[in-house]
Amino acid sequence: MNAKLNAVKGMNDLLPPQSAVWEWFESQVRELMRAYGYRNIRTPIVEPTALFVRGIGEVTDIVEKEMYSFTDALNGEQLTLRPENTAAVVRACIEHNLLYDGGKRLWYTGPMFRHERPQRGRYRQFHQVGAETLGFAGPDVDAELILMARRLWQMLGLSDVRLELNCLGQPEERQRHRLKLIAYFEQHQNELDEDARRRLHRNPLRILDTKNPQMQALVNAAPRLIDELGEASLAHFEGVQALLLAAGQDYTVNPRLVRGLDYYNLTVFEWVTDRLGAQGTVCAGGRYDGLIEQIGGKPAPACGWALGVERVLDLLEQGGMQTPALEPHAYIVLAHAPALAVAMQTAERLRAAGLHVVLHAGSGGMKSQMKKADASAARHALIFGEDEFAAGAVTVKSLRQGQGEAGQQRLVSLQSLEVLIEQLAASAPPALAP
């Protein structure tokens, strides 16, 4: 007997009925993006490794420790499963010259891959939804992206998320701050943990994002980046804040908010919650004006965010969200085998009219089939029995309160199928809802 094969650790199957929640969530995202005029973009899962080394930053944790990289056996090319999608979107915009006629608002969804220890809210294959704006320089787009995320929380019924903001300034401002950080932490090397010592001379800004409680006082007393910002950076940040306040959006300025990717500048933000433990960031992003040129394109501003789908759905589940039901309008019960062809033709005509119909497959008596009809969450059972077959009709039996009395049934001629279609469609259409 062959050995049983299981999924790769940290890469999970998504099965019914849980997949219905994902379908509903994705429908909310599509509606959100249409409302703001964002267009969908889909990039390959596999990209050149150099894209992420150049785009994310060679000394980031992602590039140093977490990427799934391999050598293509055919041509020796170095390839990587995408650990995030912003760099890939920028690569696609450069390759296809998408900015030739002005700025673009884009969004994506799909799996990402990072080789790390699987835990709640953090998997080796995880899924993101992202929104990216390319070619727009003003604080209006920063605020729009933040308010777009707020609208999604409203659509999902999530209230326990809060907004944190910071400004990372421009590269020359960060460089001044970097030198001060190095000098400060060098004076306290005996208080640094292993990660901080490793980052000290390579990426000291990331030390500010430490989760080590024993380092919090040290980090809180470190030089602040905001003190190095020039007039233009401060004006941009104040512009973002003014627009958020005008829209009634509360926020906290968090000077330790730095993000884990090297390409960010100016505005950075996170939507966070206390209900997911250490993985409290639900959605994060900011401005990355230098990335397009860094990857090989003409200089152009850009800003965006990404959210973790698994984390958002975890929050919804904690909030008592019920698994959405994909309720068919009808379940066809085949109580007379010779009626199969007629039943199948009827099912096709109903589907062509926009109805959702499940046709019983396999064996089973009337009682067994009616149990399956009820378990399907269908609103009606359409019974094709011997008498119905002889009469050229179908028995319509109500299975749910609100669709007539449960158990009520009536005979409908197949010659007047429009009547049946109208009766089935009269009930609310199947919907994915929390």
Query: Counting every residue, how long is the chain?
Result: 434
CATH of 330-425, one of 3.40.50.800, 3.40.1050.10, 1.10.1200.10, 3.20.20.70: 3.40.50.800
Cβ-based neighbours of 77, under 8 Å, separated by 6 or more: 48, 71
* pLDDT per position as a tens digit, 190-219: 888 888 888 888 888 878 878 888 888 898
CATH of 18-169+229-318, one of 3.30.930.10, 3.50.30.40, 3.30.360.10, 2.20.25.90: 3.30.930.10
* pLDDT per position as a tens digit, 33-51: 999 999 999 999 999 999 9
Category of 359 on φ-ψ map: left (φ > 0), alpha (ψ -120 to 50) or beta: beta
Distances (CA, A) of 114 to 117, 129, 286, 360: 9, 16, 21, 42
95 HSE (CA, 13 A, CB side): 8
The CATH 3.30.930.10 portion of the chain extends over 18-169+229-318
Per-residue confidence at 59, pLDDT binned at 50, 70, 90?
low
Tell the burial category of 377 from Cβ atoms under 10 Å away from its Cβ (0-12, 13-18, 19+). middle
The verdict on whether omega for the bond into residue 17 sits within 30 degrees of 0, i.e. cis, is yes
Of 268, 265, 283, 380, which is closest to residue 332 (Cα–Cα)? 380
Alpha-carbon distance of 376 to 308, in angstroms, equals: 31
User: Does 292 have pLDDT greater than 90?
Assistant: yes
pTM of the complete model? 0.87
Q: Are 340 and 334 in contact (CB under 8 A)?
A: yes
The mean of the pLDDT values for the chain is 89
Average pLDDT of the residues in 277-302: 90
Which one has a higher pLDDT value, 429 or 305?
305
DSSP per-residue codes, 112-134:
EE--S--BTTB-SEEEEEEEEEE
Per-residue confidence at 434, pLDDT binned at 50, 70, 90?
very low
The CATH 3.40.50.800 portion of the chain extends over 330-425
Among residues of the chain, what percentage have pLDDT more than 90?
62
Predicted confidence at residue 402, as pLDDT, reads 58
158 HSE (CA, 13 A, CB side): 25
Give the gyration radius of the chain's Cα atoms. 28
Predicted confidence at residue 406, as pLDDT, reads 60
